[in-house]
Structure 1
Amino acid sequence: STDTLIIAWVLTSDFKIAGSIMSIEIVTKMFLYYAHERAWNRFM
């Protein structure tokens, strides 16, 4: 997540936007991990 923050900050030059991108990434990673594990358990 720190790497996402740094890359977003370099690309946007706006720390507030970079922080928002990082926050969204953290939430989506948790959701995608949960969905992936649920799907994986159905097939195994």
Structure 2
Amino acid sequence: MEIIYSKEKEIQKFNQIDSSMFKFIEIKDQTVEKINSKPYSY
């Protein structure tokens, strides 16, 4: 029972990290898009 429980915890933790990584990548992509769409100002 405890092994299953801790395994479940590990999966939850991994999923949290995974989703936050995806969020970060999403934000990075949006930022890059904004920079690319902006006309260069020298």
TM-score scaled by length of structure 2: 0.63
Instruction: Give the structure with higher Rg (CA).
Output: 2
CA deviation after TM superposition for structure 1 residue 26, in Å? 1.3
Greater percentage in helix: 1
Q: Percent identity, aligned pairs only?
A: 10
- Structure 1 runs, 4 residues or longer, greater than 2 Å off: none
Q: Where do 5+ consecutive residues of structure 1 fail to align?
A: 1-13
CA distance in 2, matches of 1:36, 1:19: 26
Number of aligned residues: 31
The two structures, once aligned, show a CA RMSD in angstroms of 0.9
Q: Where do 5+ consecutive residues of structure 2 fail to align?
A: 1-6, 38-42
